[in-house]
Amino acid sequence: MSDSAEIPEALVKALREASRVCVLTGAGVSAESGVPTFREAQTGLWEQYRPESLATMDAFLADPAFVWKWYRWRRELVAKTEPNPGHLALAELEERYEDFTLVTQNVDRLHRAAGSRNVIEFHGDLFADICIAGCADPAANDDEIPFCNHCGNFLRPGVVWFGEAIPQEALYRSSEAAERCDVMLCIGTSSQVYPAAGLSGLARQNGAVTVEINPEPTGGPEFNFVIAGPSGLILPELISSLEQ
């Protein structure tokens, strides 16, 4: 990996001329902060489990204590991490545009910690506790299986599980931003989870310039530009190319 990245001049021009920018991020953007991606094998007790098999309502109802243990392990791990230069560069990029939307599949709150403001948490928030029956503002607690103080049902982590619908507001605002943007950056995602993975195609269909930033490009046909490299290196380079 070269220690500096080539940002195509045509992309710099498109970003300079853009008024509306949409960004989609995946687990790869948090990888350089030390948050394991979904594609990476899990460690320790979780080694023999695939996230897809744990991040479901069925898995939770079958063994709520076990699934809570997984989420508490992830919360502890993520709580020790900091935003990396990729997160910080996206917060800087946002300052350049009136209309900038950051749609993240990540549940780690690192974009907000980096100062990004218009963030749509497409798959929810790892650190939120919500009532399985939908009560508002349940009191969080650290019981092995927390229960809602209003209705007595289970509390669950505030994330979107596989097989669950994306919250309507997040889905609507993200699709809207993808449809109207001039440039869409798709960063650090294997583009395997839908409907998030469909947003870059939606942007392309509506005339946006689309960009993939990933050390292992997915080969998706919807991208005008593919920059193979880690977001923590590429994104600061993108910012400095815009400043030249």
d(CA 50, CA 160): 16
Nearest one of 157, 203, 202, 200 to 182, comparing CA atoms: 203
From residue 125 to residue 164, the character string flagging contacts with ligand BV8 as x (rule: CB under 6 A) and all else as - is ----------------------------------xxxxxx
Shortest separation between residue 122's beta carbon and ligand BV8, angstroms: 7
Among 188, 199, 202, 239, binds ligand BV8 (CB under 6 A): 188
Peptide bond into 138 cis (omega under 30): no
Q: Is 150 a catalytic residue?
A: no
Toward ligand BV8, which CB reaches closer, 20 or 34? 34
Token pair recorded at residue 224: 């005008």
d(CA 60, CA 64): 5
* # residues near ligand BV8 by CB under 6 A: 33
Toward ligand BV8, which CB reaches closer, 190 or 224? 190
Other C-beta atoms lying within 10 Å of the C-beta of residue 242: 15
Among 107, 183, 185, 186, binds ligand BV8 (CB under 6 A): 107
Q: Which residues bind ligand BV8 (CB under 6 A)?
A: 26-28, 31-32, 37-39, 52, 55, 105, 107, 123, 159-165, 188-190, 192-194, 196, 214-216, 230-232
Which residues are marked as active site? 123
